[in-house]
Amino acid sequence: MPLVENELGLPDGFVLEINTYLLTVLTDADAKFTPHQVVHKVMQRANELYEKQLFGTKRSLSSAEGKLKKDPQSPLPRHRKRPAESMQYEAPRFGHSRLATATLMKQLTLLKDMDTRKDGFIAEPVEEDLYKWNVHLYFDDVQGSRIASDLAKIAKRDTVKLEFTFPADYPHAPPVVRVAAPYVSAGHVLHRGGLCMELLTASGWAPVNSIDVVCIQIRAMLIQGHARIDPKMQSKITKYTFEGALKDLHLVVKTHRWNAGTPPQLRKKLRY
């Protein structure tokens, strides 16, 4: 199998992790996986580990609840607080860099070879601007979700349109993602079109996240968050701006203590 870095433009540390994963987890039957499929398997494994950790947290909370029922005066378990520095907010740096350009070109090539429509989205750059992409999310195959019928009846369109703006520090820093149209209620969409999603901040972002993985996760978040298209709110679509999305990002980081931007120690290592 060719090096994942040669195919996806990933940084050395993630290539090492992926190759270690290949040697220790994947079987001989999996040897024919493409680098893109390997990344998906790595992300799937990461999600499994996260779910296990989440289950362990729920179990400890359940135990604490039972303890309280027996003795209402017993102290609640203490949970570790995020460090104060997590509240520091550094706005994304926009511009061009060699690494970002090379990574985006490779991502674009991969997406052209994929049938992303079956995964519920289409992504492509805006005209000749490689650093700004339009993403259209489809929901016509989602059973039990009202957003598909809302789109057809209220918004008179087939998709929710997103705008991705990639910073100069990409892939070490996440893109700024906003809903462009229509006006979406709930689904973790904020009133200026930004998204309340840790994946899109420095706390949850990893350079291994490919564009298709991000699109799929945003789509899933809208579905699980019961996103709706409210006809009474469509007049507020003018609030959906790039500047507004940056304000939403700042608000999300401050509220949840999620970092945003690229850590200074990592930024020093980037080449421009």
pLDDT at 147: 93
User: pTM of this prediction?
Assistant: 0.65
pLDDT at 122: 97
Task: Say if residue 102 is in the same domain as residue 75.
Answer: no
Task: Say if residue 113 is in the same domain as residue 70.
Answer: no
* Counted domains in the chain: 2
User: Which pairing describes strands 176-181 and 121-126: parallel, antiparallel, or unpaired?
Assistant: unpaired
Task: Say if residue 149 is in the same domain as residue 253.
Answer: yes
pLDDT at 78: 52
Task: Say if residue 155 is in the same domain as residue 226.
Answer: yes
Task: Say if residue 116 is in the same domain as residue 167.
Answer: yes
What's the N-to-C CA distance of the chain in angstroms?
29
Domain that holds residue 68: 1-80
Instruction: Tell me the per-residue pLDDT of 259-268, one tens digit each, with 9 for 90 and over.
Output: 655 554 444 4
Task: Say if residue 75 is in the same domain as residue 112.
Answer: no
| Residue 32 is assigned to a structural domain of this protein | yes
Task: Say if residue 199 is in the same domain as residue 115.
Answer: yes
Helix axes 211-224, 98-112, angle to 10 degrees: 70
State which of 26, 54, 80 marks the end of a domain. 80
Task: Say if residue 183 is in the same domain as residue 144.
Answer: yes
| Residue 76 is assigned to a structural domain of this protein | yes
**Distance in angstroms (rounded) separating the CA atoms of residues 33 and 41:** 10
**Distance in angstroms (rounded) separating the CA atoms of residues 251 and 258:** 10
pLDDT at 261: 56
More confident residue, 85 or 226: 226
pLDDT at 31: 60
Tokens 């400890």 belong to which residue? 60
Task: Say if residue 147 is in the same domain as residue 214.
Answer: yes
pLDDT at 174: 94
Please state the rounded mean pLDDT for residues 134-142.
94
196 is known as an active-site residue = yes
| Residue 13 is assigned to a structural domain of this protein | yes
**Catalytic one among 196, 197, 199, 229?**
196
Task: Say if residue 115 is in the same domain as residue 209.
Answer: yes
Q: Do residues 242 and 157 touch, judged by C-beta distance below 8 A? A: no
More confident residue, 221 or 80: 221
CATH assignment of the domain containing 261: 3.10.110.10
Please state the rounded mean pLDDT for residues 166-184.
95
More confident residue, 24 or 205: 205
Please state the rounded mean pLDDT for residues 138-160.
89
